[in-house]
Amino acid sequence: MINIDTFFKVSYGLYLVSSKFQDTKAGYVANTVFQVTSNPPKFGISCNKDNFSAEIIQKSGAFAFSVLGEQASTGLIGDFGYRSGREIDKFKGVNYFIGETGSPVVTDSCLAWFDCKVTETFDVGSHWLIIGEAVSSDLIQSEIKPLTYNYYREVMKGFSPKNAPTYVEKAAIAAELAGSEIENELWQCQLCHFTYESEKGDPISGIAPGTKFEDLPDDWTCPICGADKTLFERE
């Protein structure tokens, strides 16, 4: 028997992984970035085979990743975490520079970055496990806290996109929420699974606790992925 709650107890950070091949840039939000060796310094990333970024990393042989901070822009997370680089230019309006490997290194909403060259790639089923050796790194903002997956779930009320290693089916998420707030009105974004709770409001967007979903301003959007109200369904 699998208990869904156990998966949420495994600690993760949140990162923005990026790469570039010729004139094409790609990037995604990842919670699977981890150091695997110290000498030489190597990091592992897990990337869904269906992701546009996986294709670009395989072609370029390099990737960069930036450590997101707790006050990271929800718009940035929405674009890089829930939308495809095949459909939009995720880097439009985003501050970045080209690193030593040729990868774009995003600096917005981030506190540190690493630029890596790919050394090994492993087929692990739905994902590629990609190992890269860090060739350069630096701090951007040392005074802010890194964004963790727990903070993202508990405070920002976000959930993993469908291509993430930690993705949980909508039915399981609904089961987790059921009964936790008996008198609370729950509306879920059908794009990123963010759940609006009327009892808590939306502090990110300045919506006061106790505000019912129908009373939200017409221009209110999902604080995680930017979806409008029409993409929410009541749970």
One domain for residues 103 and 179: no
pLDDT at res. 155: 66
Q: Are residues 206 and 135 in the same domain?
A: no
We report the CATH number of the domain holding residue 125 as: 2.30.110.10
Give yes or no: residues 106 and 174 share one domain. Answer: no
Nearest Cα neighbor of 70 from 138, 163, 7, 143 is 143
Residues 20 and 99 in one domain: yes
109, 27: one domain: yes
Residues 187 and 235 in one domain: yes
Say if 149 falls within a structural domain. no
Contact status, residue 117 vs residue 65, Cβ threshold 8 Å: no
DSSP 155: T
Q: Is 146 part of any domain? A: no
Is 156 part of a structural domain of the chain? Answer: no
Residue ending a domain, among 139, 155, 190, is 139
**Which of these three, 86, 118, 139, is where a domain ends?**
139
Residue 145 within a domain: no
Report yes or no on 13 lying in a domain: yes
Domain count, the chain: 2
CATH of the domain at 197: 2.20.28.10
Does 133 lie in the same domain as 50? yes
Query: Residue 150 falls within a domain, yes or no?
Result: no
**For each of the chain's 235 residues, which pLDDT tens digit applies?**
767 667 666 678 899 999 999 999 999 999 889 999 999 999 999 999 989 999 999 999 999 999 999 888 878 888 898 788 888 899 999 999 999 999 999 999 999 999 999 999 999 999 999 999 999 999 998 888 999 887 777 766 555 545 445 444 555 545 554 544 446 789 988 777 788 889 888 877 788 888 999 999 988 988 877 788 888 888 8
Is there a domain that residue 76 lies in?
yes
Whether 178 and 228 map to the same domain: the answer is yes
Which residues, 6+ apart, have CB-to-CB distance to 130 below 8 Å? 44, 45, 46, 47, 57, 63, 118, 120, 121, 122
> Look-up: residue for tokens 């990026």?
18
The answer as to whether 160 is a domain residue is: no
Please tell me the predicted confidence (pLDDT) of residue 8.
63
- Distance, CA of 235 to CA of 233 (rounded, Å): 6
End position of a domain, from candidates 139, 157, 184: 139
**One domain, residues 122 and 188:** no
Asked if residue 87 and residue 193 are part of one domain, the reply reads no
**The pLDDT of residue 167:** 43
Domain extent for 128 = 4-139
pTM score:
0.71
- Please check whether residues 135 and 175 belong to one and the same domain: no
Q: Tell me: do 112 and 60 sit in the same domain.
A: yes
Q: Whole-angstrom Cα distance, residue 118 to residue 102?
A: 12
Report the pLDDT value the prediction gives residue 181, as an integer from 0 to 100. 44
